[in-house]
Amino acid sequence: MTQDSTGTSITFDRATKIYPGAASPALDELNLEVEAGELVCLVGPSGGGKTTALQLVNRIVDLSSGDIRIGGRSITDQSAIELRRTIGYAIQQSGLFPHYTVADNIATVPVILGWDKERIRTRTAELLELVGLSPVETWLPRYPAQLSGGQQQRVGIARALAADPPVMLMDEPFGALDPITRVTVQEEFLAIHRAVGKTTLFVTHDIDEAIKMADRIAILKPGGKLAQFDTPEQVLSNPADDFVAEFLGAERGLKRLALTTVGEIVTADSVRTDAEDAGWPDVEATMTLREALSLVSAAGAEGAVVNSGGSRLGEVSLHDLIAPPASAGGDREGLRA
């Protein structure tokens, strides 16, 4: 788990939202605590209250009852405008202002806060470097229409981080990206999360994305009831009930293989001199077992040669990939390193 001594927790205390005219709550007495520096994914079917929970935090919609506290302080103890200035918010398709340049988009909140121009320029350059858009001079004058979807999303993340908020809210931020770009931006965001340690509440409809991104996953049922809140490992290994098991799908066992890297199961005594002759494919130690299994299966091989930084570590058999040691896969930081 990413921890930051300056981080801020988010606490839902019987948080309830009932929209006017609705027969049932959109969110029903949600009790949930996101620890400082933690990335928690909210998942569930339509009607589970995922986006409502997110919007309640920055008061886009208001609570019907209950409370939400950020760092121990109720969100109702300050104005909605003041609250939002302390929260980074990233949404699907970036939400950039089309008539603003990249520089102006990132500077939106710092300008409102009255930062001087030099401080804004310095912060904008730092953030563009952080999200992988460099040299920064190339990107500053561009408009959103001149950017690809992945580039727009990176700028959207930079804008959300601009005023160095302690809390980040992300609503399907990568949902509009093509699969290849989505994987790249996910990896970049995880690197950013490790670097800056923001407490992050992340809404996604994609359970695979949640397994990859989250320190813990909150699964919501229709009607806004919390079904389970736990680590990806525990959710996959021990679903709380039939609803959770069904939501995770029939490939729950395969999804668990995404929690362990090949490097975690390869051993120094696993070297086989005949692996290359047998047509075993090369895999990187940072690859997940699920990814490696896919390559091995496609190659019709009985295992894979494991490399790290150009050095050969050893081999893993097909059996190793399908049935890894029970001790493997417990280190989320190792997976993300």
Q: What is the C-alpha to C-alpha distance for residues 72 and 13, in angstroms, rounded to an integer? A: 11
- pLDDT score for 95: 83
Q: What is the C-alpha to C-alpha distance for residues 235 and 231, in angstroms, rounded to an integer? A: 6
Whether residue 135 is preceded by a cis peptide bond, meaning omega within 30 degrees of 0, is yes
**Number of Cβ within a 10 Å radius of residue 127:** 22
**Residues lower than pLDDT 70 in the chain:** 1-7, 268-277, 326-337
State the pTM of this model. Answer: 0.82
Residues of the chain within CATH 3.40.50.300 domain(s) are 10-256
Q: In what order do the strands lie in the sheet with 282-284?
A: 282-284, 303-308, 311-317
Q: According to DSSP H, which parts of 162-299 are helical? A: 179-196, 207-213, 232-237, 242-248, 252-256, 289-299
Q: What is the C-alpha to C-alpha distance for residues 17 and 66, in angstroms, rounded to an integer? A: 9
Range 260-336 has CATH code 1.10.357? no
Report in angstroms the alpha-carbon separations of 65 from 18, 56, 228.
9, 11, 22
Q: What is the C-alpha to C-alpha distance for residues 67 and 76, in angstroms, rounded to an integer? A: 8
Instruction: Tell me which residue has tokens 């921890």.
Output: 3
- pLDDT score for 77: 94
Residues of the chain within CATH 3.90.1280 domain(s) are 260-336
Q: According to DSSP H, which parts of 58-203 are helical? A: 80-84, 102-106, 108-112, 117-130, 136-139, 149-161, 179-196
Read off the pLDDT of residues 198-241 as tens digits, 9 standing for 90 and up: 999 999 988 999 998 999 999 999 999 999 999 999 999 999 99
CATH level 2 (architecture), domain 10-256 = 3-Layer(aba) Sandwich (3.40)
